[in-house]
Amino acid sequence: MNISPKKLQVISCLAQTLSFSRTADIFCTTQPSLSRIVRSVEQELGCQIFIRTTRHVELTQQGRMLLPIVNKLVQDYERGILRLREATQGKRPTITIAALPSLCALILPGLLIELKKSLSDFVFSVQEAHACHAVDLVRSGKADFAVCGVDYIDPDLSFIVVQEDRFVLLCDQSDSLRYAVKVWDERLINDLPVVSMEQGTNARDYIDMSFKKVGMEFRPIVELTNLLSIAQFVRQGFGVGLIPELGAKALIDGGLCIKYLENAPKRKLGIIRKQSDGSPEYMHMMADFLRSALINVLK
């Protein structure tokens, strides 16, 4: 089989645009030339990837099955070329880390100090991201690994669990005695003026799941997109935050405090990377450092 990386890039792009004219423009070629590339790949693979007419392009069932493999090959190739170019131009290699904002604030500075001791030739790039976006960055090859919490991992990713992060109430110190809840109870929590993360975030998914298990729906009085906004709402007397302890630890200043709940749900925190990237030597050092650092923070 002789399919060049460029041909795979064409297939991947056409699958996104579903337009021969747009794809031809992107690759600075003609539509007849693009059609010949597609036909040659289909002949090599022994199957039809696209159904095409004069007005319409769509993936066949086999095309949809093959697309994730094609996209992964293209991503790995482009990533490899970038690193090869960096090496030949004398640039220092880069390790890109995607991490939760709370981890960036509390854990990552110490982690990078430790990594720099063994990887002094590397440049570190950090991207703050919520869990779902962090996983997408790893999957797409834009990050070497992610440090976050997840409840599901694709088969082509691996997840090294290093610690659990329980959910807590974030309260204003002058107001904390109003909230008499001491044990996680979905019915009592729904009676509180709860400020939470918005639906679709990893932290919110865990709360919704806990409520669904007992046949209830979680009803916060307001949903926000980031922890800093939740802290401001709590600080101004709007209500009480229901967030993971790690996020709360990054916010407890300016009159805020944490209230722990017995039997509160926990999310898993760890390191996510691509299975195909193997297990770099520094990964085990990272896991050990994260584990000890999180144990110290999440007491």
Is residue 230 domain-resident?
Answer: yes
Q: Is 272 found in the same domain as 262?
A: no
DSSP letter for 256, please: E
- Reading the block at residue 293, the tokens are 């650092």
**Number of domains making up the chain:** 3
**Full residue range of the structural domain in which residue 32 is found:** 5-68
Is residue 109 domain-resident?
Answer: yes
Residues of the chain with pLDDT under 70: 82-83, 85-92, 151-153, 176-177, 276-281, 299
Q: Find out whether 169 and 179 touch, Cβ atoms under 8 Å.
A: yes
Is residue 197 domain-resident?
Answer: yes
Which of helix, strand or coil describes residue 180?
coil
pLDDT value of position 290: 78
pLDDT value of position 209: 93
Residue keyed to tokens 């854990």: 107
Q: Is 200 found in the same domain as 242?
A: yes
CATH of the domain at 221: 3.40.190.10
Question: How far, in Å, CA of 26 to CA of 15, rounded?
Answer: 13
pLDDT value of position 82: 66
Which of helix, strand or coil describes residue 22?
helix
- Reading the block at residue 82, the tokens are 């970038």
CATH of the domain at 46: 1.10.10.10
Q: Is 273 found in the same domain as 289?
A: yes
Q: Is 251 found in the same domain as 232?
A: yes
Write down the H helix ranges in the chain: 5-17, 20-26, 31-45, 61-88, 101-106, 108-118, 131-139, 186-190, 202-213, 227-235, 245-249, 281-297
Q: Is 238 found in the same domain as 178?
A: yes
Question: How far, in Å, CA of 14 to CA of 20, rounded?
Answer: 7
Is residue 79 domain-resident?
Answer: no
Question: How far, in Å, CA of 164 to CA of 14, rounded?
Answer: 42
Q: Is 282 found in the same domain as 263?
A: no
Is residue 102 domain-resident?
Answer: yes
Q: Is 139 found in the same domain as 115?
A: yes
- Reading the block at residue 180, the tokens are 């008499």
Q: Is 129 found in the same domain as 107?
A: yes
Is residue 144 domain-resident?
Answer: yes
pLDDT value of position 281: 66
The most distant pair of C-alpha atoms in the chain lies apart, rounded to whole Å, by 73
Is residue 169 domain-resident?
Answer: yes
Question: How far, in Å, CA of 179 to CA of 167, rounded?
Answer: 15
Q: Is 63 found in the same domain as 40?
A: yes
Q: Is 148 found in the same domain as 286?
A: yes
Question: How far, in Å, CA of 204 to CA of 223, rounded?
Answer: 10
pLDDT in tens, 137-185: 888 888 888 888 876 667 778 888 888 899 999 999 877 667 778 899 9
Closest CA to 277 of 91, 95, 105, 40: 95
Is residue 141 domain-resident?
Answer: yes
| Alpha carbon 18 to chain centroid, angstroms | 27
